[in-house]
Amino acid sequence: MTKLGRLFRVGLAVAVVVVLVSAVNSLGGTRDPAAHRHHRHEVSIAPEPAPPEELPAAGSFVHTRVLDSGVLDVDQWVRTRQPARTVTLQADPIFGSGGPPVATFVRVAADGQVVKAPGAVGIEPQTVDLGEGARLVHVSYLLSGVVVRAGPAAEHPVAVMTSLGLDYTPRTGPLHERVSGPVDQLLCWPRAATAAVARPCGHQQDDDWRVMLTSGQRDTQVAARLAPR
């Protein structure tokens, strides 16, 4: 190989590395580097955090952080009375300027142990095997492609979903959700309906918005209306 050819190959390799690093930084670089989990690191080696106090004895808790880039940094927790053997993850379809929605850097832990998970989740359902079963499941990921505007003149962009759909058996108990970031209202509507029937929901507590859905309201879509920029 000529010297010029070797230089070309080295230059190409450097360019690829720069592109990959830039992509990772754009997704996870705004994450607090002091936090235990950081999306710049391999998801399989990040230490598993303790479950939050907001997680019910049986039910779910979601904490969504809206980053400046419009990407959502999401932690979902599930606790069940009977062991769940699988969880199924799926993004709802989005019609408009935001999509397609996709979760990347997906990490799943069952009873504190990381299990094999898909690298990305979109609108096609992905089922994760939990082995012998688990009563405590933690799923984390970055969710992009979910922020839309109702029209060119719309003042408020909307994150039309704040987390992936997470299905498991037995699926019981309430869902608590907390959304952090530039949010000025949460919106809720039944998943079987359209966003046209969305109504304000939840309440503001300190700098976050919170909503609690009962077991019978679990098939509710939660969206976040973002503050204008």
What is the residue extent of each domain of the chain?
Answer: 1-30, 59-226
Whole-angstrom CA distances from 140 to 64, 84, 137 are: 10, 18, 10
Fold of 59-226: Immunoglobulin-like (2.60.40)
Specify the pLDDT at position 180.
Answer: 97
pLDDT tens digit sequence for 38-76: 444 455 566 788 999 999 999 999 999 999 999 999 999
Q: Whole-model pTM?
A: 0.79
